[in-house]
A and B are shown apart, each in its own frame.
Chain A
Amino acid sequence: MDTITVIYLIYIFIGFYFLFLFILIYIQNKKYLYYYPKPKRDYSLSIVIPCYNEGATIEKTVKSVLDSGYKNLKKVIVVDDCSKDNSYKIIKELEKKYPKVLAVQTPKNTGCAAGSKNYGAKFVDTELIGFSDGDSFIEKGSIDKLVGFFNDEKMGSVTCSVLVANRDKFIERVQSVEYKVIKFSRKLLEFIDSIYVTPGPLGVFRKSAFDKIGGFDEKNLTEDIEITWHLQAEGYKVRMALLSRAYTVAPSTIKDWVKQRNRWNIGGLQTSIKYGRDWFRKGMLGKFILPFFVFSWVIGLFGLTVLAYRILKVLIFRLFSTTYSIQTQTSLIRFEDISLMPNILIFFGLVMFFLSMWFTLLSLFHMKDENRKGENFFVLSFYMVFYVMIYPIILISSFYKFLKGHRKW
């Protein structure tokens, strides 16, 4: 057996393991996927919305929070981070119009969402504190489905399903599929106590827990990942209500998409390094989340290196063959050269592909009432065949930026 075959088989084994892990978690817990506890009482809640140049969307965001229907919503604090557009003017008008809205502005631009969120948190005196992004919209009834989890005293934060609001462009549609797969996987991870992020569009925290850990880490580019790990490290639980939904505006251009993914990866790296001391400690954080994060990077990058090596080898071989063929005036390719003989690696690869496809389709179609705009065959095929392959390339660029000290939003 040659080295490449051995590497390929190891990858297949690892791939099968994680796929089966998710499938088994799904099979064992599918009855509980949509479960959310009824709150024992109406917990008081305030929502903080950071805002930087969100003039186009902030009004809709604030209205979606106010219309969410949660009875004990005390305040909606909109924090303008010294925007360059008319955001502050808009939120000031909203403050006049709606008594629950409080418009505040940071003394100077903090340069990150974490800064605005922490600033806004200073104005909160309720039992629960929620956060939503300035370009996200909460579905009616979503907050009610989150708060019941706080009946458990050890509950630190509860997150929701994050879906893509804009689905006109192809890149937005592909991300819509991706977000649904992420959402479904995150819910499954809840059953092994391994939710690794409380995403920005909507997350509710126990205020005492939030204060205890000192709020968001302003140096981290993914403060929503960091705070989730921090809570778990302090022994708090994190849960997700699948039926609670928030819609967010996904990047519409490749440039913005790459920028966003670089930020996610760099933030993830920062968080992994920060909690590096907790390997195999602090419950599932050290036993699964941290190793899973680091391991997925390592196998992603190593896999990409091997793939690049293989492609390079084929290209060099083709280059030499073509050169010789031209020199000797022989045909470049013949019908006999095309071999369609299957082998065990192709067999494993196909099984893996079809299982992954089944999992993706399951992620997309297990909720019958969800908006499926733009999820056509072409978008799904592109996501399953190409999109997942592109991601390790972004990872390389993220590592490079991280090593160069890039820490900007």
Chain B
Amino acid sequence: MVRLLQSRKRVFWEALILTIVVFLFGLLIGIFYESTKSSDMNEYYVNSELSLMDIFALNSLLSINSQNCDVLTSSNLEFADKIYQEAVILEKYESVGKVTEHMEVVHKRYDVLRTFLWINTIKTSEKCEKDYSTVVYLYEYFSKDLTQKAKQNVWSKILSDLKQEQGRNILLIPIASDTNLSSLNALTAKFNITSYPVVIINEKHVISDLSSVQELERYLK
């Protein structure tokens, strides 16, 4: 029993040290896991970036040869579909990001990419005849307001339904508006947007009150 009493106080420190070791080990595993997922997303991003650069190159070719319009339109649509699918994957991966902020950075980089795509489609429509509609969905990524979050959740579903129905007739670009991107801010300034979420169709119609897929279809080409 004497030995027991001697070890009495030591066990509190031993438990503390063991807890710190296990906790730090767990945190390191968590950080490693989050980094792995972030690397996966980065890989997607690099490929998407390459696709966008390719589209830019195509865009430059337009000044030389207007026959590239079809290729460019097709590339824009394919690229939009690709990054839309990646956005869905990113959304799932974002639930992984608890300790690090890697996923937030990846999300922001994708927003820049999507803004680039939007600018490019505007440029393309100046030079080529457009047979599809551009649907830009602007939402708030960091919003804490539950009403707004619920609204955005439903809007995403409506837009997803619209995309499924319309296929290549629409180019859907969802962009987070509160990531403080100068290019995006400059681009949206002319629309006088007062609240989010908002849908901009073909840079003409600004819809801030969405009730159905059918309502959106009225504004499409």
Q: B146 near A316 (CB under 8 angstroms)?
A: yes
Interface residues of B in 1-45 (CB under 8 A from A): 1, 4-5, 7-8, 11-12, 14-16, 18-19, 22-23, 26-27, 29-31, 33-34
- Residue in contact with B23 in the complex, picked from A16, A25, A345, CB distance below 8 Å: A16
Surface stretch bound by B, among A43-51, A175-183, A321-329? A321-329
Nearest chain B CB to A5's CB is how many angstroms away?
A: 5
What mask results when residues 334 to 360 of chain A are scored 1 for a CB within 8 Å of chain B, else 0?
A: 101001011111011001000000000
What mask results when residues 13 to 35 of chain A are scored 1 for a CB within 8 Å of chain B, else 0?
A: 10011101100110011001000
A314: nearest chain-B partner, CB-CB: B146
Taking CB atoms, residues of chain A closer than 8 Å to B149 are 317, 320
Taking CB atoms, residues of chain B closer than 8 Å to A330 are 154, 157-158, 161, 213
Nearest chain A CB to B87's CB is how many angstroms away?
A: 12
A217 beta carbon closer than 8 Å to chain B:
no
Q: B96 near A20 (CB under 8 angstroms)?
A: no
B186 beta carbon closer than 8 Å to chain A:
no
A294 beta carbon closer than 8 Å to chain B:
no
- Residue in contact with B15 in the complex, picked from A24, A29, A328, A341, CB distance below 8 Å: A24
Taking CB atoms, residues of chain B closer than 8 Å to A348 are 26, 30
Q: B92 near A341 (CB under 8 angstroms)?
A: yes
Nearest chain A CB to B149's CB is how many angstroms away?
A: 6
Docked CA distance A329–B211 (Å):
8
Nearest chain A CB to B12's CB is how many angstroms away?
A: 7
B46 beta carbon closer than 8 Å to chain A:
no
Docked CA distance A328–B213 (Å):
8
Q: B146 near A320 (CB under 8 angstroms)?
A: yes
Interface residues of B in 76-109 (CB under 8 A from A): 88, 92-93, 95-99
Docked CA distance A1–B146 (Å):
20
Taking CB atoms, residues of chain B closer than 8 Å to A316 are 146
Using known A-B contacts A21-B15, A32-B4, A330-B161, determine if residue A344 contacts B212 with beta carbons closer than 8 Å.
Answer: no
What mask results when residues 150 to 180 of chain B are scored 1 for a CB within 8 Å of chain A, else 0?
A: 1101100110010000000000000000000
A84 beta carbon closer than 8 Å to chain B:
no
Q: B158 near A328 (CB under 8 angstroms)?
A: yes
A59 beta carbon closer than 8 Å to chain B:
no
A192 beta carbon closer than 8 Å to chain B:
yes
Docked CA distance A6–B149 (Å):
22
Docked CA distance A348–B210 (Å):
41
Using known A-B contacts A343-B95, A343-B98, A344-B29, determine if residue A20 contacts B18 with beta carbons closer than 8 Å.
Answer: yes
Q: A29 near B211 (CB under 8 angstroms)?
A: no
- Residue in contact with B96 in the complex, picked from A317, A321, A342, CB distance below 8 Å: A342
Docked CA distance A211–B88 (Å):
73
Taking CB atoms, residues of chain B closer than 8 Å to A324 are 150-151, 153-154
Taking CB atoms, residues of chain A closer than 8 Å to B211 are 327-328
Using known A-B contacts A29-B4, A192-B8, determine if residue A331 contacts B15 with beta carbons closer than 8 Å.
Answer: no
Of the candidates A5, A319, A343, the one having the most CB atoms from chain B within 10 angstroms of its own CB is A343
Docked CA distance A13–B19 (Å):
7
Docked CA distance A21–B18 (Å):
9
Q: A344 near B34 (CB under 8 angstroms)?
A: yes
- Residue in contact with A16 in the complex, picked from B22, B92, B93, B99, CB distance below 8 Å: B22
Nearest chain A CB to B110's CB is how many angstroms away?
A: 18
Using known A-B contacts A345-B98, A347-B29, determine if residue A191 contacts B23 with beta carbons closer than 8 Å.
Answer: no
| Top 6 closest pairs, chain A to chain B, by CB | A344-B30, A320-B150, A324-B154, A21-B15, A321-B150, A17-B19
Q: List 26 A-B contacts (CB under 8 A).
A: A5-B98, A16-B22, A17-B15, A18-B15, A20-B15, A20-B18, A24-B14, A24-B18, A28-B11, A191-B4, A192-B8, A192-B11, A192-B12, A317-B153, A320-B147, A320-B150, A321-B153, A324-B151, A339-B92, A339-B95, A341-B93, A342-B96, A343-B33, A343-B34, A343-B96, A344-B31
Q: A17-B15, A343-B98 are in contact. List 7 more A-B contacts (CB 8 A).
A: A191-B7, A192-B11, A317-B149, A319-B150, A323-B150, A345-B98, A347-B26
